[in-house]
Amino acid sequence: MRTGVWIVSASVAIGLVTAFLLRTRLPARVVLALLAAAGAGIAWGGMLLRADPTPGEVAGAVAVLAALVPAHVRIVLGPVDPRGARPAG
């Protein structure tokens, strides 16, 4: 199997475990770093699967997914906080 597929698969697995199992158990900075690394890995692995991406495309994809994956998890699943959701008020 191609290297890019392995990188994408491992990154997705890390992202899923972090988002669903570790998000409320680890400090927020650790969770955000793991999710950002997972996003960067997804982008980097995906770029390895392309025929001939430019350096700008690779850098852009890695930067964008490193920011969007943590944001997506926060928006869809809720706070990244060991205490879970905080009560309103």
Q: How many domains does the chain have?
A: 1
Tokens 């988002």 correspond to 19
Tell me whether residue 86 is in a domain: no
pLDDT at 39: 98
Tell me whether residue 50 is in a domain: yes
* Residues 18-25: contacts with CB under 8 Å, at least 24 apart: 18/73, 19/73, 19/77, 20/77, 23/73, 23/77, 23/80, 24/79, 24/80, 24/81, 24/82, 24/83, 24/84, 25/82
pTM here is: 0.88
Q: How many helices (H) and strands (E) are present in the chain, helices listed first?
A: 3, 0
Model confidence pLDDT, tens digit, residues 1-45: 799 999 999 999 999 999 999 998 999 999 999 999 999 999 999
- Please state the rounded mean pLDDT for residues 64-79: 95
Half-sphere exposure of 67 (CA within 13 A, CB side): 5
Domain that holds residue 46: 3-77
Tell me whether residue 73 is in a domain: yes
The token duo for 48 is 């390895």
